[in-house]
A and B are shown apart, each in its own frame.
Chain A
Amino acid sequence: MQTVWPLFVYLAAAAAVPAGMIMVSFVLGARHSDRATGEPYESGIVSTGSARLRFPIHFYLVAMFFVIFDLEAVFLFAWAVAVRELGWAGFAEALVFIGVLVAALAYLWRLGALDWGPKPFARLSHSRHKDS
């Protein structure tokens, strides 16, 4: 616990810096309320509609992949700290662990789950064989 107090000092500093910035700009900043102050752009095209739009499903897939490989990384961190102690047997065991997930990654790659946007190969074949 004695070694934890720098963390709290750090957290306090991390909170104080942005809070101080906002406070100082609030105190020192100029205030005016003209007709266009509330607009997103004081000069330019007035925006219409909502900013909330649906994201393509690929974003969710990538986020999911991230969480899964994140989890893999956490397991590997635990191994990495004890790597000298565990020796080559631990290395082999970790290799199996990674190998299973590399197999999954290769499968996803083949499946095209990592492809993003318009597929270059699909587009090429489409332009060549327009009738198909």
Chain B
Amino acid sequence: MSDFFQHFGQTVAFIAITAVVIGSALAATFAKSIVHASFALFFTLLGMAGYYFLLGADFLGITQVIIYVGGILVLLLFGVLLTSRSLDQLQIRSRASYIAASAVGLAVLAMLWKAIIRGPWQHVTPVVPQQTTQSLGRLLLTDYLLAFEFSSVTLLAALIGAAYIVRRREK
């Protein structure tokens, strides 16, 4: 009985999250104003975090919220506010941009579709690890140590690159 409720709850949550993600993604795509598109993207990214939580990947979900919702989206909005053109001119009206965006989107969809079709899917009973964060931390600092340390170098390159670009623009 509780198994039924668990399954039912998961299905309901999945449908609700999917509705939010698809709805907000469509709103982001067809929004006239780029600021509205950014705010719609907020709900899309939040919904992706919901998927991660639903799959038991709590660390990934929190990371999604902290970095994408809290960081990247703010960066996106700042980028919009910093552009030299006024917000009214940033509205997407041209047919060419629609066609180009549709082409890129369809190409990505085709790639994903192929990966989904060809992928060796197998049905296994999901083993949800109780503490993903601890095992992730352990793996990062043992088996994937090189990637972990290299990521700090990548972040260093990003920091210096950002400062360089801003300094060059100030001159």
Contacts and interface: CB of A to CB of B under 8 A. Distances in A.
Interface of A: 1-2, 4-5, 7-8, 50, 52, 54-55, 57-61, 63-68, 70-75, 77-83, 85-86, 89-90, 93-94, 96-98, 100-101, 103-105, 107-108, 111, 113
A113 B149 contact: no
A58 to B, nearest CB: 7
A75 to B, nearest CB: 7
A101 B110 CA distance: 39
Interface of B: 2, 6, 9-10, 13, 53-54, 59, 62-63, 66-67, 70-72, 74-75, 78-79, 81-84, 86-87, 131, 133-138, 140-142, 145, 148-149, 151-153, 155-156, 158-160, 162-163, 166-167, 169-170
Given A61-B162, A70-B67, A77 B155 contact: no
B163 A61 contact: yes
8 contacts: A8-B13, A52-B81, A57-B166, A59-B78, A68-B162, A71-B151, A75-B140, A98-B152
A126 to B, nearest CB: 17
A5 B8 CA distance: 12
Q: Chain A contact residues: over half helix, strand or loop, or mixed?
A: helix
A90 B83 CA distance: 43
Contacts of A108: 159-160, 163
A68 B152 contact: no
A63 to B, nearest CB: 5
Contacts of B158: 64, 68
Given A78-B136, A101-B155, A103-B156, A70 B70 contact: yes
B133 A77 contact: yes
A81 B87 contact: no
Nearest to A8: B13
A77 B166 CA distance: 30
A94 B74 CA distance: 28
B149 A93 contact: yes
Given A78-B136, A100-B156, A104-B155, A1 B148 contact: no
A65 to B, nearest CB: 7
Given A61-B163, A82-B137, A54 B82 contact: yes
A74 to B, nearest CB: 5
Contact of A60 (B82, B86, B148, B159): B82
A68 B157 CA distance: 10
